[in-house]
Amino acid sequence: MGKQIKLVWVLTIVTALLVIGGQVYWLHHQYTYTALAYMARLNDTLLVLQDKNFTSTLDANHTIKMMDTNRTKKDSDLVKLGYSLKMNFEEGKAESYVRFSKLYDADSLGNLHLVDSFNVTGLSLDQVVNASLHYTKYAGRSFDLHALDSLFTSHHIHAMDLQQVKLDSFLWQGTYVVEKSCMRYRMKFIYPYNPFVRDAVTGYIDLPTNPLLKEMGWQLVGSLILILLLIFCLIYQVRTILKQYKLDELRKGFVNTMIHELKRPVQTLKMCVAFLNNKRMRKDEQMMDEVVKDSMFELDNLSAYLVKVREMTRADDEQTPLSVRLFNLSETLEKLLRLTVIPVDKHVRFETQLTPEQLWVAADSVHLTNSISNLVENAIKYSGNEVCIRISASLTEGKLVIQVADNGFGISPQDQLHIFDKFYRSEQVIDRSLPGIGLGLSYVKLMVEAHGGTVGVESILGKGSVFTLEIPQSK
């Protein structure tokens, strides 16, 4: 059974880790997808802002007008800016060019000198016109990084490390590159402010975590609930199995203890029957008296044990029936100690102090005797080879106060909170492989409380324990 419990425990842990790992893996990919989608939207915003930054600085004369459908005429409006643009351009044409000429003589439109010529094969008309506008604006002029940064900041976009660069290849539209470090994403954007000459601005934007997590809010909450529910179910399953395992161990311990307790009286009775069957030995009256006395003693022990078992298996809501009468506790205690079975490997010394010496009390003699017997037996069982047990009893303020002290192993403060619970056994006791099922002290508490009294314990590990029983006495 122990191996099966360990196997179930291992499989449960492995299953939980696999499920949690799969959930975390899915959440990680979902987080990546959300981050990429966020960056795509952010890039669209950047493109709009970059275009806004450009158009906001254009004047009314900075325009391009196509003079005919062949798109080969000079643009007269560009001449006002000091440039003449001539496009030998047609979409789908194998070779297409744009040529920029500089006007040096404002009085003569013919005084133009070629400045640059660019191959625009494969581009659309909109791309050519847009690149041309950027060229005529920034040719010979610097780009205002501060204005672009201020525009970004006004839209709550915090760009870092803005700088002008020369690209290795032509780039006609702004783009971005994703950089990742653990769960942190960084976006490097590239804005070609003058595509014809490959001038561009680059910068970095760190993606904030909170907006991404906020977008994944319901997914995170749902995943967390599922993981917690899974862990709860697995823990509940394991606890249930362990509880069943513990109950099985208690059942085995109970059966073994029952067998141990019943074996001695049965063997004694068997010897008695064998003695009675021997006619010669029956004639010895002294031996007959000893056999009968031993048999009665063992039968009393058996009866007392069965009473304890019956009371401990009684339902919690049932009251224990008591037979309260006046009896001499001194004589009862003397007989109990005289008939106590002492292991052969231990030396036990009893010290008693009763006030008065002939102490008459009102209680159920059977249950009270069994309770004291349990404490004495525990003191012997949970002690070393040299055992000293001190028993005192007195009538104080209308109460019978009984104390049983020993020099045994002692009880830890944590165990003191549970030793009166049914079936509870300390780990210290289990480690020493001492027999028992954890019913003795719970029986003592049950019987004392049935009398309307209380039971307490004071103990120090390694020095011993003192159990105190207080039972009210009617005046």
What digits encode the pLDDT tens for the residues 427-446? 766 555 566 667 788 889 98
Residue 151's pLDDT is 85
Position 2 in a domain: no
Please check whether residue 408 is in contact with residue 393, taking contact to mean a CB–CB distance below 8 angstroms.
Answer: no
Residue 72 has what pLDDT?
A: 41
Whether residue 364 sits in one domain with residue 447: yes
134 against 112, higher pLDDT: 134
Q: Assess whether 260 and 384 both reside in one domain.
A: no
Q: Does residue 292 belong to any structural domain of this protein?
A: no
Q: Are residues 11 and 159 in the same domain?
A: yes
The CA distance from 383 to 372, in Å, is: 17
| pLDDT given for residue 76 in this prediction | 38
What is the per-residue pLDDT for 228?
A: 84
Higher pLDDT, 74 or 282: 282
More confident residue, 108 or 92: 92
User: In this structure, is residue 181 part of a structural domain?
Assistant: yes
Inter-residue contact 471 to 452 (CB < 8 Å): yes
What confidence category does residue 101 fall into, taking pLDDT thresholds of 50, 70 and 90? low
Query: Do 446 and 388 share a structural domain?
Result: yes
Burial 109-136 (b: 16+ CB within 10 A, else e): eeebeeeeebebeebeeeebbbbbbbbb
Phi-psi region of 444 (alpha: psi -120 to 50; beta: other; left: phi over 0): alpha
Q: Give the residue-averaged pLDDT of 36-52.
A: 85
Q: Which two tokens stand for residue 24?
A: 């975390």
Residue at which a domain ends, from 272, 287, 302: 287
240 and 274 inside one domain: yes
Q: Cβ(165)–Cβ(202) under 8 Å? A: yes
pLDDT at 92 over 70: no
Buried b (16+ CB within 10 A) or exposed e, 320-351: eeeeeeebebbebbeebbeeeeeeeeeebebe
Whether residues 87 and 41 share a domain: the answer is no
pLDDT at 149 over 50: yes
Q: Is the pLDDT of residue 408 over 50?
A: yes
Q: Indicate whether 68 pLDDT > 50.
A: no
Instruction: Encode pLDDT of 184-241 as tens digits.
Output: 788 899 999 888 888 999 999 888 776 666 666 777 777 788 888 888 887 887 788 7
- CATH code of the domain covering residue 400: 3.30.565.10
Same domain for 466 and 328?
Answer: yes
Query: 173 and 115, same structural domain?
Result: no
Q: Do 161 and 115 belong to one domain?
A: no
pLDDT at 69: 39
Range among 17-26, 264-273, 274-283, 456-465 rated most confident: 456-465
Does residue 80 surpass a pLDDT of 60? no
pTM for the whole structure = 0.47
Distances (CA, A) of 248 to 2, 243, 439: 11, 8, 16
Is residue 70 one of the residues assigned to a domain? Answer: no
DSSP label at 207? P
Predicted local confidence at residue 105, as pLDDT: 46
Residue 332 within a domain: yes
The residue segments making up the domain with residue 241 are 217-287
Final residue of a structural domain among 168, 191, 215: 215
Q: Are residues 122 and 152 in the same domain?
A: no
CB 105 within 8 A of CB 111: yes
